[in-house]
Amino acid sequence: MGTNFYWKEEGESPPTIKLCHGGSITIPSIGVDDPRIHIGKRSAAGKWCHDCDVSLCKGGRFAVHNSMSNWDDRCMGCGKHTSDVGFACSFTWAQDQEKVVKILLANQCKVVVVDEYGSEHTGQEFSKVLTSVKVEFYDSIGKKFCCHGRTIGAYQ
């Protein structure tokens, strides 16, 4: 199970929202999975040796979500058993990473991000979420891929 993250609305509830990074969008014309609102999705990425900074996925770090991937019983770097290593997360970007980071840096103390469960994050808090990620995917930038009909917070 993963977590989708969105730009938090400013101002009044639908039908029109003002985005924290400029502009406004009329809600009936888009869904929360629209890449102008959807920032991306954090997902579990399996066993990870933090000492060696490697995935235990036999297919490598970019195959962690491949259902056909097998997993090593030990870290190929240091030999630690799977019971002695941790876990990692991935992040699939819906927006350009550089633009997102600029907005987060400009809004360190302001709530600008909300996740699909309604938890709000300042720019600084969400930056910490992103720094904990070990694998990043960029092939979904500009694409709708998150919600499958679900709604969040004020978008309900």
Q: Is the pLDDT of residue 126 over 90?
A: yes
Predicted structure pTM score: 0.78
Mean pLDDT on 137-143:
88
Averaged over 86-110, what is the pLDDT? 94
Can you read off the two tokens belonging to residue 155? 């978008």
Tell me, letter by letter, the H, E, C secondary structure of 19-46. Answer: ECCCCEEEHHHCCCCCCCCEEEEEEEEE
Q: Which two tokens stand for residue 25?
A: 């969008």
Tokens 């600008």 found at: 112
Predicted confidence band of residue 89 (pLDDT cuts 50, 70, 90): very high
Residue 94's DSSP bridge partners are none
Domain ranges of the chain: 3-44+90-155
Quick one: average pLDDT of 34-41?
Answer: 84
Mean of the per-residue pLDDT values for the chain? 83
**For residue 16, what pLDDT is reported?**
57
